[in-house]
Amino acid sequence: MKYLLKAERVLGGRKGEVIKNGAVLVDGESIMSVGSADVVGAHIDPNVKVIDFGERTLMPGMIDCHVHLGFDGSADPVTRMKKSTDEQLLVLMLYNARLLLRSGVTTAREMGARSFLDLVVKEAIEEGTAVGPNLLVSNRPITSTGGHCWFMGCECDDTVAVKRAVRDHVKAGADFIKIMHTGGFMTKGSAPWYNQFDRKELETATYESHRLDKKIAVHAHGAVGIKDAVDVGVDTIEHCSWVTSSGYDYSEEAAEKIVEKGIHICLTTNVGWGRMSGQWLEERLQNISRMKALGMKFIAGTDAGINLVPHDKYVGGLEALRMVGLSNEEIIESATIVAAEACGIDQTVGTLAPGMRADIIAVDGDPLSNISDLWNVDWVMRAGTVPDFAQL
C-alpha cells in the first residue's frame, strides 16, 4: 500500500527539523520521501492513498525504552503476575501491547518477562497476528536468588550462571540483555541500594553481551551499583536514582564518566511522578538537573506496567521529563532519535527520512509548543500499516 500523508507540520526527528505544509510518501513498510507537500506530492501515481491531516502534526512514532508487558499497571502487579499462568500472562501482554501502540509508541524495549513470552508477542506482532509496537526483547531479567523480579525465572549467583544466562537468552532470540544489578522497590526483601551482583559478575554479563553483539541494560538504583555499571561500560542504565538506605549519594565524578562513555540513561519517569512530592522528589530532581548540566543523554522509558503506571499513559512520562528540566524539543528527541540511538536502531526508526521504516503518528496539536498535546495521538502507522483500534 502506498500513502501520501500531508499535514501543516511535519517533525522529521532531527534536531529542530520542522517542515511547514509537509508530506511523507510511504510505500509498503518504508518511507520513500519527506519534504514540502508541493514537492513530495508533485508526481504521485493514482493508486496512492492520500490522507490530509490538516492542522495536525505528523512525527516519528515514539519509543518507550522500558516497558513490562506482563505487569498490569494496577496497584499490585506482582501478585497478579505470580498468580497468572503463562497462558493468562500472554493474553495480558498482547492487550498491553495494543495499548502502547494506540498511545503512539511504535517501538518498545521489553525489560523483562517470564517464560520467554516476550518472544512470542514480538513474533506475533511482526507476522501481523497481533497488534502492538515493534519490540526489542530481553527475555527474563538476570537477577540473584530471591532478588528483584526473581519470579520472572532467571536467578543466577555466580559468574558461570550469569554467563550461561546471557548465552541462553541470546540463543533464544533476545535483542538485548537486562540485568538487575541492584535491588528494586517492587520486590519484597530486595533493597534498591544494595548490589545483587559483585562487579566481576556484572563485568561478565557485559562482556558476554558485547561479545555476542548485544547491548546490555542495567537496572541500577543504588549509587554503588551505578558506579559499577559505569566502570564496566554498560550501554544503558535504568532508573539511575543514586539512592541509599537513608537518602541519596549522587556522585558528580561517576556522572561525568557516564557522559564521557556515552552511556544513555533511562530515568523511567512516568505518570507516577506527577503524584510524588516532598523532599525526596526535590532532591531527586536536583540530582537529575546536575546530570543534565553535564550533557547526559536521557531516553524516554516509563516502566509501563508497574504500580499504577498502565500502558496507555506513556505521555505522563514525557510530561515528567519537563519536571526534570528538558525542553519540549529535547523530550521529543529523547522519545525518538536519541532513544533509537541508545537502542542501536537509529538506522531504522526514530526519524522520518527516506529508507526508514514507516512508523508515523499524527497528533492533534503541536507538541513542540505543548508536550501534553501528545496525549492526542489519533492516528498510528507501524511498519506501513494502520491498525484498527475500534476493538479496544
What residues line the site for Zn ion (CB under 5 A)? 111, 303
Q: By C-beta, is 81 or 111 nearer to Zn ion?
A: 111
- Cβ-Cβ contacts under 8 Å for 352 (sequence gap 6 or more): 10, 11, 12, 13, 24, 31, 34, 58, 59, 60, 360
Three-class SS of residue 124? helix
Closest to Zn ion by CB, 7 or 97: 97
Q: Quick one: 111 or 162, whose CB is closer to Zn ion? A: 111
Q: How far is the CB of 313 from Zn ion (least distance, A)?
A: 15
CB of 282 to Zn ion, least distance (A): 24
- The torsion of the CA quartet 308, 314, 319, 323, rounded to 10 degrees, works out to 60
Q: Nearest to residue 78, comparing CAs of 155, 148, 139?
A: 148
Please report how close the Cβ of residue 368 comes to Zn ion at its closest, in angstroms: 29
C-alpha cell recorded at residue 83: 498468580
How far is residue 150's CA from residue 172's CA, in Å, rounded to a whole number? 19
Q: Please, what is the minimum distance in Å from the beta carbon of residue 74 to Zn ion? A: 16
* Separation of alpha carbons 235 and 95, rounded Å: 29
Residue 3 C-beta: closest distance to Zn ion, Å: 35
Least distance to Zn ion from the beta carbon of 239, Å? 8
Task: Decide whether 118 or 303 has the Cβ nearer to Zn ion.
Answer: 303
Residue 219: how many other CB atoms lie within 10 Å: 30
Closest distance between Zn ion and the C-beta of residue 382, in Å? 23
Q: Which is nearer to Zn ion, 5 or 136 (CB)?
A: 136
H helices present in the chain, as ranges: 37-40, 77-83, 86-102, 117-127, 159-172, 199-211, 223-232, 252-261, 279-293, 314-323, 328-335, 337-343
Instruction: Please give the Cα distance from 380 to 361 (Å, whole number).
Output: 5
**Nearest approach, Cβ of residue 197 and Zn ion (Å):** 17
Cα angle 134, 16, 217; round to 5: 40
Nearer to Zn ion, 303 or 319 (CB): 303
What whole-number distance in Å separates Cα of residue 157 and Cα of residue 50? 57
Closest to Zn ion by CB, 111 or 113: 111
Q: Are 357 and 31 in contact (CB under 8 A)?
A: yes
Residue whose Cβ sits closest to Zn ion? 303
**Closest distance between Zn ion and the C-beta of residue 303, in Å?**
4
- In angstroms, the CA 293 to CA 325 distance is 10
Q: How far is the CB of 318 from Zn ion (least distance, A)?
A: 17
Contact indicator for 336, 59 with CB cutoff of 8 Å: yes
- How many CB atoms within 10 Å of residue 163? 17
Asked if residue 177 lies in contact with residue 169, where contact means CB atoms within 8 angstroms, the answer is yes
